[in-house]
Amino acid sequence: MSSVVASTRGSSPVPTPSKKATEAIAALSFASPKKLHKRPDVVIDDRKRSVSPDTLIDEDEIGEEDDIQILRKKFVGEVDMPESEEPLLKESKRRFVLFPIQYHEIWQMYKKAEASFWTAEEMDLSKDIHDWNNRLNDNERHFISHVLAFFAASDGIVNENLVERFSNEVQAAEARCFYGFQIMMENIHSETYSLLIDTYIKDPARREYLFDAVETIPCVKRKADWALKWISDQHSTFAERLVAFAAVEGIFFSGSFASIFWLKKRGLMPGLTFSNELISRDEGMHTDFACLLFSHLKRRPHPDVVKHIITQAVKIEQEFLTDALPVSLIGMNAKLMCQYIEFVADRLLVSLGNEKVYNVANPFDFMDMISLQGKTNFFEKRVSDYSKANVNHSNQKAEAVASKTFSLDEDF
pTM (two decimals): 0.73
DSSP, res 97: -
Which residues face 76 on adjacent strands? 300
193 is catalytic: yes
**Three-class SS state of 120:** helix
User: Which domains can be identified in the chain, with CATH numbers?
Assistant: 124-377 (1.10.620.20)
Which candidate in 110, 179, 193, 358 is catalytic? Answer: 193
**Three-class SS state of 300:** strand
Task: Compute the distance between CA of residue 32 and CA of residue 133 in angstroms, rounded to an integer.
Answer: 21
**Three-class SS state of 73:** coil
- Tens-digit pLDDT string for the chain (412 aa): 444 334 443 444 545 544 444 454 344 333 433 443 444 444 445 544 433 334 333 444 545 566 667 777 787 767 677 777 787 778 877 778 778 888 899 999 999 999 999 999 998 998 999 999 999 888 888 888 888 988 888 888 898 888 889 988 888 999 999 999 999 999 999 999 989 999 999 999 998 989 988 888 888 888 899 999 999 888 889 999 999 999 999 999 888 898 888 888 889 999 999 999 999 999 999 999 999 999 999 989 899 999 999 999 999 998 888 776 787 887 788 888 889 999 999 999 999 999 999 999 998 877 765 544 433 333 333 443 444 544 454 434 433 433 444 444 444 4
Which residues face 299 on adjacent strands? 77
Burial 104-135 (b: 16+ CB within 10 A, else e): eebbebbbbbbbbbbebeebebeebeebbeee
Task: Compute the distance between CA of residue 233 and CA of residue 199 in angstroms, rounded to an integer.
Answer: 37
Name residues whose C-beta falls within 8 Å of residue 411's C-beta, 6 or more positions apart in sequence: none
E-state strands within 67-226: 75-77
For residue 206, give the nearest of 341, 70, 46 by alpha carbon: 46
Type of residue at 401: V
